[in-house]
Amino acid sequence: IQTFLDTINAVIHEANANECTMAAYNIGFDIRAIASTADFYGYKMPTIDHTFCLYKAFVAAVPLEYFLWTLATKRLTAKGNPKMNAESAYAFITKTDFVESHTALEDVQAEIEIMLWLEKRKNTTTDNTTIWRWYKTVLTENATSEVGE
């Protein structure tokens, strides 16, 4: 654990960074996990000045095609909403049937691809309110037509 925390600090200092920004898909979870692990083992948590949540950025940037893709691939929650987890985001971006194994290295590799995808889309805007309304309408219509058949 100390090696991990030392590595974070070393990367910050090696980059001569005055500030540290940490990015992750659901960053709140990662920060809490690192802090609680450090605390449990009696280590000092590295100073992280800023955070960037890839999940929030993905949800804000997701295009209509993602919603269509979740319907086609059945990547839906129990309530029928599109899955917005890192696994689904990465599978959509890479156009693969990706299934996450939940290893740290694989998580980082997937999150880098998500971050690069977001960087490419940073100057585009998506009216997700309209898309979500459309998506709910499509789900309702599909459910109604399936019941009637």
Asked if pLDDT for residue 147 goes beyond 50, the answer is: no
pLDDT tens track for 65-108: 998 899 999 999 998 889 999 999 999 999 998 888 777 788 88
Structural contact between residues 94 and 69, judged by C-beta atoms closer than 8 angstroms: no
Asked if pLDDT for residue 8 goes beyond 50, the answer is: yes
Q: How far apart are CA 43 and CA 10, in angstroms?
A: 15
**Percent residues over pLDDT 90 in the chain:** 23
pLDDT of amino acid 44? 76
Torsion angle of C-alpha atoms 38, 49, 26, 139, degrees rounded to 10: 160
pLDDT of amino acid 145? 45
Please list the residues that pair with 51 across neighbouring strands.
Answer: 22
For range 112-116, the mean pLDDT: 92
pLDDT of amino acid 134? 61
Q: What's the CA angle centered on 11, arms 9 and 16, to 5 degrees? A: 95
What mean pLDDT, rounded, does the chain reach? 78
